[in-house]
């Protein structure tokens, strides 16, 4: 049993290292606190994004300024992130 646990832990560690090195995508939901179209950034108070980050408030770059159109502080949003080169970027954003 101990070898199985070590194998699973090792596999999980390798997967996490691969995501960190190669980048990855994640999905989350939260509430918009601020929209800054001039700098193509959005601040979201979001829940945990499994495999990517714990729940927190964070300002993200957006891949396309058009993603921010019609989005306002207080909106609930679903979003997808891309992590590459140490930067989290919103690549999809849907207010509801």
- In order of their start, the domains of the chain are 24-95 (2.40.50.320)
The SS3 assignment for 57 reads strand
Structure tokens that stand for 46 in this block: 């979001």
Span 41-70, mean pLDDT?
96
Distances 67 to 10, 17, 18, 84 between C-alpha atoms, Å: 38, 30, 29, 19
Predicted TM-score of the model (pTM): 0.75
24 against 22, higher pLDDT: 24
24 — pLDDT class (breaks 50, 70, 90): confident
């Amino acid at each position: 049993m101990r070898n199985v646990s070590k194998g699973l832990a090792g596999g999980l560690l390798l997967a996490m290292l691969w995501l960190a090195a190669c980048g990855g995508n994640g999905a989350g939901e939260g509430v918009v606190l601020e929209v800054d179209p001039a700098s193509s950034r959005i601040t979201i108070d979001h829940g945990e994004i499994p495999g990517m980050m714990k729940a927190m408030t964070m300002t993200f770059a957006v891949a396309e300024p058009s993603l921010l159109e019609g989005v306002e502080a207080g909106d609930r949003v679903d979003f997808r992130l891309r992590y590459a080169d140490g930067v989290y970027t919103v690549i999809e954003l849907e207010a509801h």
